[in-house]
Amino acid sequence: MLKTLTHTMLAGAAALAFMAGSAAADGHASKTKLRIQTHFSTETLSGQLAGKFVDDITSMSNGEIEVEMFYSGAVVKAAETFDAAATGILDCDMTGGAYQTGKNPAFQFTGDLMGGYSNPYQQMAWLLHGDGRAAINKLYNDHNMEFVGWWIPGPESLSSTRPIRGVEDFKDWKFRSPPGLATKVFANLGASPIVMDFNEIFTAFETGIIDGADAANLTNNIGLGLYDIAQHTNYPGFHSMPADHLACRKDVWDAMPDHHKKIMEVAMDSLALHNATINEVKNAQNAVELRAKGVNLYEWSPEELAKFRAAVQKGWTEFATTPEAKELLASHISFLKGIGAMQ
């Protein structure tokens, strides 16, 4: 009887092994296929890091996650990527929440607090340790999207064909602005913001439509070729520190196996660390090179920074006009006060 039982167990094990092998051979292993768009080009550091993210999730999933990545807004304009993902043209959006402020001003506070956080590590801390992920998803889920993670290059630098030494230089300054809070803050300081797509900035500089741009940090501005025309910038940055996100359509996310979801989340956390640290290094190196090439880099005085931040905090309350926006802003302010970064 023991011999019969042993034979039965061995036969069962062999059958299971055969079934597993057949499933793998038939391609029945869990598969997730995603179409993702970023507004960054492959020439920029951020575009290269987006490529690294794709390589990471492909490797960690042993090829079970397959990504078709679109760069430079190849399918739709940057600001339309969120909707393209939510409606099925794409599966995931790798731009930023602040592009969606036309839907609800609350999206501003899922992307860029403008002068609230001093560095990307503080802002990531709110996401990871201040219940930020749940707060963001409360809003995203209402729009058929799931927030997966942030990657933050750090404080941005303005580029300009005119000096930008302090608040006074913003008077009558025509510049490319992202939609949202930035338009209100800079307009209140006397500037003339013009909202345009990310990939239209260089041509607008060339043709004189704009005097300056709120585009990216020093490193990505170089990748966009902006300092070939704009000989004035500020460093260190202070006015903006947008968080680029990865957000996927809710049904796509919910259908993914749990281990794929975890791979995506962990890879985004890894991307965030690599992004913040490499940009800190590259920006410092590029500041030296830009000065050597004759580009003017302005470091604002504490007095000028205080004027800007006063305008920003006024802008927060003016912009937070919906219950969702007020709730998200309150979460940020509570966290900032809790870590002593705000009075």
How confident is the model over 254-292, as pLDDT tens digits?
A: 999 999 999 999 999 999 999 999 999 999 999 999 999
Contacting residues for 78 by C-beta, under 8 A, at least 6 apart: 39, 95, 99, 197, 198, 199
Question: pLDDT tens, 93-138?
Answer: 999 998 999 999 999 999 899 989 989 999 999 999 999 999 999 9
Closest CA to 180 of 31, 321, 3, 338: 321
pLDDT(56) > 90:
yes
Helix 258-292 and helix 45-60, axial crossing angle in degrees, nearest 10: 160
| Gap between the Cα atoms of 320 and 333, Å rounded | 13
Place domain 29-343 in its CATH homologous superfamily. Bacterial extracellular solute-binding protein, family 7 (3.40.190.170)
* DSSP strand pairing (212-216 vs 32-38): unpaired
Mean pLDDT, residues 309-331? 94
The ranges assigned to domains in the chain are 29-343
How many other C-beta atoms are found inside a 10 Å radius of the C-beta of residue 213? 28
* Nearest residue to 325 via CA among 141, 104, 168, 58: 104
pLDDT range class, residue 55, cuts 50, 70, 90? very high
Residue with the two structure tokens 């947008």: 242
> Measured on CA atoms in the order 191, 192, 196, 201, is the torsion positive or negative?
negative
pLDDT tens digits for range 66-104? 999 999 999 999 999 999 999 999 999 999 998 999 999
- Nearest 5 degrees, angle CA 262-CA 279-CA 48? 60
Cα–Cα separations (whole angstroms), residue 336 to 123, 124, 196? 9, 12, 31
> From the CB of residue 151, how many other CB atoms can be counted at a distance below 10 Å?
26
Q: pTM for the complete prediction?
A: 0.83
